Amino acid sequence: MRFLRVVFTAILATFLLGLGAVCAAAAVAAQWGRTSLAFDVLTHFAPFWLAGALVATLAGLALRGPVRVAIVGLGLVGTFAAGALIAPELVRHTGPHAAPGAPGQLKIVQFNAWHNNADLERTIDWLAREAPDIVVIEETTPAIRALIAAKTNWYVTCPKCEVMILSRRPPVADGVAFLGHRSGPLSRATFRDARGEFTVLGVHNAWPTDPDQPMQERRLAAAVARFPRERTIVTGDFNSTPWSFSRRRWDRALGLVRRERALFSWPAVQYKRLRWTGFPYLAIDHVYAGSGWATVSVRRGPKLGSDHYPVVVILAPVAPR
């Protein structure tokens, strides 16, 4: 028994030492994401580095001797470095808030429907039951466009685009912009309510490893600048997490307030090559709104055959003073 205990301890110590070293190294290297897009890719997985470092720290306390000091030391380095990436998201301002009964509410659904979605009927049925005022939907296909036309009476902005904006009221203006073959679409629709006009922009950005993403962010910032920021709303699949330095920089550049906080939206399905992923671990679907909007609620929707969860946000005009 003593021999087995020694072997088990050695295996555990080796595993924890490796776990602590990997998480500490990744979390520390991610700090260079402030100036390097290559290192910034590591920031998107900050929750993993934090969880692994915490496991190494707590489990390492059960060991003895120099190996305990090494494991706990690496775990603490990883915990503080990863925590420094995540903490700003947890304490940032998410804009003004309004009570559930606030007048003039606007319900928005942001959803990447996924081109491989095999449950389109349930997807459209859920959207119909939610009865949102506006839906921004990405990765549309001819099949989902046909279902939307057959089963709903929504107004559709850019009906053949990869990013579509659906609405219960007709827009007063709309448009779409493309920059390059792989840049991804940027759709917009302008509506009018009791307070005047407001513009909704829908976007689907490339992965952070794709050189197109910074260009897409610059394009979006330029598009937002064309409209009165106070009432502008931007939502979509940004493929960018809130603990990345690039996301924080573009948050500032947009001049709007991101209304969800650390809302994990991907993946909603298990991939063949990633069978262990039964839970969402990337927060990449975002909703922004100008200072003229107050947040009533933000929630994640159900699994709907897509690899993304939908995001449901209710906004209300800020009460005049």
pLDDT digits (tens, 9 = 90+) for 91-104: 999 999 999 999 99
The domain in which residue 20 lies consists of 2-91
| 8 pLDDT above the threshold of 80 | no
C-alpha triplet 287, 184, 46: angle, nearest 5°: 55
244 within a domain of the structure (yes/no)? yes
73 within a domain of the structure (yes/no)? yes
Residue 144 and residue 72 in one domain: no
**Of all residues in the chain, what percent are helix, strand and coil, respectively (each to 5)?**
40, 25, 35
Residue 66 and residue 131 in one domain: no
Which of 60, 91, 122 is at the close of a domain? Answer: 91
Q: What is the mean pLDDT of residues 54-82?
A: 95
Whether residue 139 contacts residue 112, with contact meaning beta carbons closer than 8 Å, is answered with yes
Percent of the chain with pLDDT over 90: 83
21 within a domain of the structure (yes/no)? yes
Residue 202 and residue 286 in one domain: yes
34 within a domain of the structure (yes/no)? yes
Residue 224 and residue 111 in one domain: yes
How would you classify the pairing of strands 134-138 and 106-112?
parallel
pLDDT digits (tens, 9 = 90+) for 251-278: 999 999 999 999 999 999 876 665 555 6
Residue 86 and residue 113 in one domain: no
243 within a domain of the structure (yes/no)? yes
Residue 196 and residue 49 in one domain: no
Structural domain count, the chain: 2
Which of 62, 91, 120 is at the close of a domain? Answer: 91
97 within a domain of the structure (yes/no)? no
Whether residue 260 contacts residue 311, with contact meaning beta carbons closer than 8 Å, is answered with yes
166 within a domain of the structure (yes/no)? yes
Which of 91, 115, 145 is at the close of a domain? Answer: 91
In this predicted structure, what is the pLDDT of residue 13?
A: 83
Residue 66 and residue 142 in one domain: no
96 within a domain of the structure (yes/no)? no
Residue 229 and residue 266 in one domain: yes
Q: Give, for 87, the enclosing helix (H) or strand (E).
A: helix 66-91
Cα dihedral across residues 38, 41, 46, 51: positive or negative: negative
Residue 202 and residue 118 in one domain: yes
